[in-house]
Amino acid sequence: MNRKSPIAFAALLAAAPVTLALPAATGSAVPSVPLTTFTLDNGLKVVLSEDHAFPVIAYSIDYAVGSRAEPRGRSGFAHLFEHMMFQGTPNVGKGEYFKYVESNGGIFNGSTHEDYTNYYAEFPAHRLELAIWLEADRMRSLAINAENLRNQQEAVKEEKRQFIDNQAYADAFANQLTDLAFKNYANQHSTIGSFDDLNAASVKDVQDFFTTYYAPNNATLVLVGDFDPDEARRLVTREFGSIPRQPAPTAVDSTEPPSSGEVRRVVRDAQAPTPGVLVAWRGPARGSTDYYALAVLEGILFDGSSSRLYQDLVKGREVAVAIQGDMGLPGGDYVEYRSPGLFGLFVTYKPSIDARGIVGAVRSEIDRIAKEGVPADELARAKVQFRSQVVRGLASTLDRATRLGIYAAVDGDASRMTADIPRFLGVSSADIRKAAAQFLVESNRVVIEVQPAPAGGEKEGK
């Protein structure tokens, strides 16, 4: 239902980063986040983070299934199923989940990603039992029938029409980018899927998907906020403990062959008000020295009006209209980035400018970094900005829950949320120079030019 979408990215809506919570202010560079973890007999992994700063509780339940698990002919299935999860159970009628949450002062949402699907909510602290029951109830007995499937097929198709087919630059991000960057179908196809594949889904397909992937042994429940840990453990065990374990899903093979050189494409976009160019590179393994280095370099190159490329292209040469970059394209950031993944940027520029000039300017800046590294004062500022982004989000119980859930889903270890911070802050100029020289090179690059065009304009290879 919601994610950091390529549409928002392509429209250069600079959303605030996902944040996490700290207890009181601390002089340490590493946040102190209390965690208690345990696993139920049926395989459900549970993470508790007690925090009595505010009388609220938040949870995120993350299922280890995303678009990479979809075989050919079933693209968009993980996203379709995210919609199905809000269609009710024998105990909670269709549409009543929303009423239960909102009438009790709560908020909720869900999102589908390449490697996981999550559902998250926040409630007043005294509604802890209700929150746990609601989530366990739909894991146990989701209402899967032809009517619900048909309704949600149409809902997803309308979402695709609204947010992909009729949004400027969205096709380049949601469809073209991964298609060009990767060879393995698991990485190549879009999260939202195709109309043909959505129409082909049957009730049996949905039921099989639910049985396979929405089992307790394929999920992690994160609970954060104002609760008693013993009481929370008792309620989680009572509500989730009797849901049967299922056979483990088949592991996804997402390996990619070595890059065979730069790939370019021109896309004619009837929705685009100005031309744009998308430049992306295939990135390093998550958790490697290069991963931490490029995550820090992202801030130096792209983030805010003080970033190098903004100062060069927007303020200096005055050729670009806007710039936005990320590690985790097309719709994520460094937190959910998992190799094979993409590091890159999107620039909208003035119609009088040639895209080759924009790409050349980006390359020149990166070549300079690959040769010289980053000055100590600039690197220090980037690290301060990185840490302050983390600290600024500490008031949000819900954001801490979702962030812990991502680390639990992607790394299998929620404690990486804080354990990774010293690795980011320990990045050196030499680390950045090495990562830029190895990964941000022309032979590892994808370039998509987006040109305004009348409706029906064709796509051109280049």
- Whether residue 2 has pLDDT greater than 80: no
Question: Using one digit for the tens of pLDDT, what is the confidence trace for 91-136?
Answer: 999 989 999 999 999 999 999 999 999 999 999 999 999 999 999 9
Q: How do residues 369-383 score in pLDDT, each as one tens digit?
A: 999 999 999 999 999
The pLDDT of residue 95 is: 87
pLDDT of residue 388: 87
The DSSP call for residue 250 is P
Rounded Cα distance between 41 and 39, Å, is: 7
Query: What integer pLDDT is reported at residue 458 of this predicted model?
Result: 47
Domain positions in the chain: 6-240, 263-461
* pLDDT at site 369: 98
For 407-417, how does the pLDDT look when each residue is reduced to its tens digit (9 = 90+)? 999 999 999 99
Q: Three-state secondary structure along the chain? A: CCCCCHHHHHCCCCCCCCCCCCCCCCCCCCCCCCCEEEECCCCCEEEEEECCCCCEEEEEEEECCCHHHCCCCCCCHHHHHHHHCCCCCCCCCCCHHHHHHHHCCCEEEEEECCCCEEEEEEEEHHHHHHHHHHHHHHHHHCCCCHHHHHHHHHHHHHHHHHHHHCCCCHHHHHHHHHHHHCCCHHHHCCCCCCHHHHHHCCHHHHHHHHHHHCCHHHEEEEEEECCCHHHHHHHHHHHHCCCCCCCCCCCCCCCCCCCCCCEEEEEEECCCCCCEEEEEEECCCCCCHHHHHHHHHHHHHHCCCCCHHHHHHHHHCCCEEEEEEEEEECCCCCCCCCCCCEEEEEEEECCCCCHHHHHHHHHHHHHHHHHHCCCHHHHHHHHHHHHHHHHHHHHCHHHHHHHHHHHHHHHCCCCHHHHCHHHHHCCCHHHHHHHHHHHCCHHHEEEEEEEECCCCCCEEEC
What's residue 309's pLDDT? 97
**Where residue 348 falls among pLDDT bands split at 50, 70, 90?**
very high
pLDDT band at 394 (very low <50, low <70, confident <90, very high): low
User: What average pLDDT does the segment 403-410 reach?
Assistant: 95
What is the CATH number assigned to the segment(s) 6-240? 3.30.830.10
Residue 445 has pLDDT above 80, yes or no: yes
> What is the share, in percent, of the chain residues with pLDDT greater than 70?
91
Predicted structure pTM score? 0.90
3 state DSSP class of 12? coil
Cβ(84)–Cβ(149) below 8 Å: yes
Total residues found in the chain within this entry:
462
Average pLDDT over all residues of the chain: 91
- Write the DSSP string, 323-373: EEEEEEETT--TTT--SS-EEEEEEEE-TTS-HHHHHHHHHHHHHHHHHH-
What would the pLDDT profile of 140-154 be if each residue is shown by its tens digit? 999 999 999 999 999
Does residue 7 register a pLDDT over 80?
A: no
- Model pLDDT for residues 224-277, shown as the tens digit of each residue: 999 999 999 999 999 999 999 999 999 999 999 998 899 999 999 999 999 999
pLDDT of 21 reads 35
pLDDT band at 462 (very low <50, low <70, confident <90, very high): very low
CA 79 vs CA 112, 160, 370: distances in Å: 6, 11, 39
- Residue 315 makes CB contacts below 8 A (sequence gap 6+) with 305
Average pLDDT over residues 169-183: 95
Residues 6+ apart with CB under 8 A from 458: 268
Q: Which two tokens stand for residue 145?
A: 């029938």
Model confidence at 12, pLDDT cuts 50, 70, 90, reads: very low
What is the rounded CA–CA span in Å between residue 441 and residue 367?
A: 8
What value does the mean pLDDT take over residues 426-447? 98
Does the fold of domain 263-461 match that of domain 6-240? yes
Residue-level pLDDT at 25: 35
pLDDT computed for residue 355 by the predictor: 96
Least confident of 212-216, 305-309, 348-352, 452-456: 452-456
Which CATH class, in words, describes the domain spanning 263-461? alpha beta
Residue 248 has phi, psi (to 5 degrees) of -65, 140
Q: Percentage of the chain surpassing pLDDT 90?
A: 87
Cβ contact 265:318 at 8 Å: no
